[in-house]
Amino acid sequence: MIRALPLGWLVVTLALILDSATASAQTTEADVYVAQAVLEFDDKNYDAALENLRKALELEPDHVEALYFAGAVYAAQKRPDLAAPYLERARAKSPKDPSIAYQLGLVYFAQQRYDRAEPLLEEAYRANPELDSLGYYVGFLRYRKKDYRGALAAFRDGRSSDQRSSSSRASTPAWRSACSGCRARRRRRSSRRSVWRPARS
């Protein structure tokens, strides 16, 4: 089982992988392809998104956002076998990024590679325990290790965040409720005519 990224998570992901020092840097052609791919991904035009990401990676083979979103697109297509290599490369380039850890953890979970999924999902859980369904995955992994109290805590965190987000989903699109300050950040960044860039490690 592999979950597609909700739009809210995409917005939060972009915000998490950015470094404010590089936000004003010059936009590259690869950045433009990645931005177009994100729009295609959001519209579930996966083939078009992958084509834009392929072009970005031809120009910049180590472009962290292109690697991340290539993995995310394959994960949304339920192809964890194709998603893992891209996400592993993104993780190697940005090892402290919790959004990459989360997505790679989900891919490993889908492949039933629980020993590899656990540290990544635990890292993402420490960074943001209220991420959509993260409590379920962490709780399941803790339960497998017979950490019943830890599993219960994670399941409760996941359930309480699901209840909060389901009440907001009824009236507000998920991506808007996930990041209320994102619109302001987008306006500030767009005024600089810059595409978001991942943090360099």
What are the residue boundaries of the structural domains of the chain, listed by start? 7-191
What is the reported pLDDT for 69?
97
What is the reported pLDDT for 166?
46
What is the reported pLDDT for 192?
40
Question: Could you tell me if 182 and 11 are in contact, meaning their C-beta atoms sit under 8 angstroms apart?
Answer: yes
Average pLDDT, 10 consecutive residues per value, the chain (201 residues): 52 47 67 96 96 97 97 97 98 96 96 97 93 91 93 82 46 31 38 43 47
Phi, psi of 18 (to 5 degrees): -100, 150
What is the reported pLDDT for 59?
95
Specify the pTM.
0.69
What's at 87, amino acid-wise? L
Q: Of 160, 110, 170, 173, which is closest to residue 131 (Cα–Cα)?
A: 160
CATH code of the domain made up of 7-191: 1.25.40.10
What is the reported pLDDT for 5?
55
Residue 20, classed as helix, strand or coil, is coil
What is the reported pLDDT for 27?
83
User: Could you give the CA distance from residue 54 to residue 37 in angstroms, rounded to a whole number?
Assistant: 10
User: Could you give the CA distance from residue 170 to residue 168 in angstroms, rounded to a whole number?
Assistant: 5
DSSP state of 113: -
Estimate the crossing angle of helix 98-110 against helix 80-93, to 10 degrees. Answer: 150
